[in-house]
Amino acid sequence: MNAVHTTPLNLDWAWKQRNNTVASVLDELTLPFQGDIQTGWTKAHSFPSEIHIELLKAELIPDPYRGFNEHKVQWIGDVEWLYRCSFHFEKIPQHEHAILEFEGLDTVCDVYLNGTQILATFNQFRTYAYNIPLPEGQNPLLQETNTLLLHFKSAKLLAKAEEAKYGKVRAGSTNLGDPSRVYVRKAQYDWRLVRLLCGTSLLVANERCVRRWDWGPELMTVGPYRAITLKTFAVRINEVHPRAYLSFDQVSGKPFPVLKVDITLDGNINPNAVHSLDIVLKATAGKEIRKQRLLLQKHVIALNDAVSWDLGLDDVKPWWPVGYGEQTLYDVEVYLLGPNEEVVDTQVKRTGFRSVQLIQETLSDADQYGTGTTFLFEVNGVRLFIGGSNWIPADNFLTTVTEERYRAWLTLLRDGNQNMVRVWGGGIYEPDIFYDICDELGILVWQDFQFACEVYPAHDEFVASVRKEAEENVKRLRHHPALALLCGNNEDYQMVLQWGDVKELPARKLYEEVFPEVVAALTDPPIPYHRGSPYGGIGWDTADPTVGDVHQWNVWGGKELPYQEFDKLGGRFVSEFGIPAMPDMRTITYWMDGADKAEWYAQSKLMAQHTKAGSFERRFAILMNENFRLTADLETHVFNTQLMQAEALGYAYQVWRRAWGGKCKEYTSGVLVWQLNDCWPVVSWAIADYFLRPKPSYFAIARQLAPLTINVSRTVIKNRANDRPRQYYEFGAMQSHDANLAIWGTNSTLTAQTVTLELAFYDLKSSWTHHESRVVELLSNQATELYALRCPGPPQDGMQPPSGDPVWTPSYSVVASARLLDAHGKVLARVADWPQPYRYLAVPDPRLSLQVEGERIVLSVGRPVKGLWLSVEGEGSEVSWSDNALDLVPNDPQIVTVKGLGSRQLRVAYLGKEQASMI
């Protein structure tokens, strides 16, 4: 039997706490399967495994996600843990090689096989492999019955030991202010990452700030969190690297697909063991497109360009990001054949044909920031406006994130009209299934190397480990057509600039030497590399809005500006910005865990436990008080935070997409919100909470990223130039004089669209309305300014004021609605612009009408309504809405499709009626 034999080691696992009274860790193998967790072994609930989950399943700890239980489980990260399994091995005579492979050990682990230590691991992000000798004589390391022992040590203790060895560094406030985490290659969010942020826009290098905020608990995870396998062989395929891409004819400019395949082998390469390789390109449906056989030469283990095929578009189709074409994928199958053409080993890599470039070229025309350069993605020769989200790990306990859960999250992102996800540098390199799903759904991936918000070291041992980490993960991910960018770090340059007292960033060696070397050596055509996020200007300037990308935190954090200032706070690519909001009331109920009703208020201890944002009460108060009426009712407060987040984030996407102005005017080419998801139930910046329940902001963003949009900008003319902060109007010492409206649309399709623009105006204080329409053209793949007008309003009552006093116009109570219609009257896009701030508005009864027709809900109103939120009464499966958090105006019914409603009754809430009720 010459074929490669693979044995997953996923059975018969057990765990226990290390008992320090036992002299040798090996002596603990003889302890029984009983007693407490120090004196006996407990069978593992599942594998891969994480110790918190095992303890939870064994009912030995409370749920860390409920109540104050996070504080009751801190001891877990301070002690050591053991895992063991037994497995059978039967040697195959022809097999001369055995490899024990560990895809993920978290984090500091000594590995013993039958009493012999074979590995000492200290990097969660690496795959470790041990070549086991298979001698013919006595006492082989692998026996018929084998015991594998994993001894996990405290990452905290290693961090402190490394800090004592190399020195304390300046770092973000983490784990009670302890910066030693930088020395351990472990997911940084496990250490309860608290991010130090000043506003990054217009940031001066010597500004100081101590603005703390974060979103996750401190849960120091431990365990074999990814697969462990034993492989035996005489010869095997070590790696297949398919390089599938689109090339462009230099004369005609037409694209043509190219496939090149590199292959490395491992083992005894001789005619008695192997004969040839078959390389096959197949459609995912199984149709064979091309095949080639290569005869193997003795001792040749690396075949670069084993095949190099120029293909036609009749043979294969390009892979496109969502919204621009099909996500056509192909399988590259490689078969290693023996002397009798029997299959010895097989590898299959799924890939797609596409080209991707990061275009940073000089802008010839200036915008409000000046000229500078673009920062845009071009895929298959098409320049794209990027709209997407930042991604953090979907759970503190990674073994609980199933394929189904990954697919649900990424499908939610895709269905929200987003085309990019940024895998943030403080989490993990996600497992293969994450990137497979991105390929399938057409979601581009911005992948950070796993460094975030600190001054990391660069001593030789550390750099060597990180180089291996980078090489392994680039090799693992490079064949995915979704992979669009590799980025050196998150905010490390920015931290140094903000602190002002750190003279050097040692990890520049990683970001400016190691990572670009690895990416250049291992990707062909090269995957774009960006040394840090944010990064761009002269002298590491991370806040220059004309170069590179920016993180915009001057709203909520930093300068704490009103969100209505987002139109002044953009950049060439906004890769982070956000505003938090409370999650669904059911999620709050989960973490409140039956608490006394006296704790059910916004500033209670339990709310603070699940609101990790530093100074959240003050920061919420600033934005909430500027925009909404004060309330002591928790449900009303929850609704208002959600509406505020939706209004703010929707406005940011609206105004920044407006700056996608066509060739040479790509002033803003992408917006990534912080953040898509949560790692536990919490009040955070996420646009959908831990349980995959979208907040209103999710729908507001989806509408702003639709292929066609229409938007209204209201500029209030005030009677004094020195009016208070730039709101839409004020009722203090000053009053509005007039209001001008600008109407624009966006079109992400590659064809210009001729449509009808309909405008309708409604007064919130009377029955006055006004309507007008015109035919307009939306230019392709850009924003188009369509129309400018003075905001109509109802007739004024009474006499004109005396000379010198303001001329009062009632636009302060007028809702401006705009729609785009096709030639058949179908609504292609709509928007309603309301006067602000909302705290001043006397909202009329909308006279809401709601009709349920199977999975269709038809909504209509007699008066305008803001932020109509649909939910259901009663227990059952989660309900999925095609749209929600709606603004409606009269004579414009909207249809929402709903899945999972069943016989449950609908509930509604909206501005002015924030407590949901059945209808």
DSSP codes joined into one string, 686-741: -SB-TTS-B-HHHHHHHHHTSSEEEEEEEEEEESSTT-SSS-S---SS--EEEEEE
- Contact residues for 348 (Cβ-Cβ < 8 A; gap 6+): 331, 332, 333, 334
Tokens, residue 857: 């809900």
How far is residue 257's CA from residue 239's CA, in Å, rounded to a whole number?
22
C-beta separation of 466 from 458 below 8 A: no
How far is residue 144's CA from residue 86's CA, in Å, rounded to a whole number?
10
Query: What pairing do the DSSP bridges indicate for beta strands 386-391 and 420-423?
Result: parallel
**Single-letter residue type at 249:** D
- Could you check whether the bond before residue 681 is cis, i.e. omega within 30 degrees of 0? no
How far is residue 424's CA from residue 443's CA, in Å, rounded to a whole number?
15
- Contact residues for 56 (Cβ-Cβ < 8 A; gap 6+): 63, 64
Query: What pairing do the DSSP bridges indicate for beta strands 769-778 and 753-763?
Result: antiparallel
Residue 31, burial from CB neighbour count under 10 angstroms (0-12, 13-18, 19+): middle
How far is residue 788's CA from residue 785's CA, in Å, rounded to a whole number?
8
Q: What residues pair up with 336 in beta bridges, in sequence order?
A: 277, 345
Query: So which residues are the catalytic ones?
Result: 491
C-beta separation of 356 from 255 below 8 A: no
* H or E segment and range at residue 619: helix 616-627
- Contact residues for 802 (Cβ-Cβ < 8 A; gap 6+): none
* CA 475 distance to own-chain centroid: 21
- Minimal CA–CA distance to 518: which of 480, 481, 547, 477? 477
Read off φ and ψ for residue 715, nearest 5 degrees. Answer: -115, 110
How far is residue 543's CA from residue 75's CA, in Å, rounded to a whole number?
41
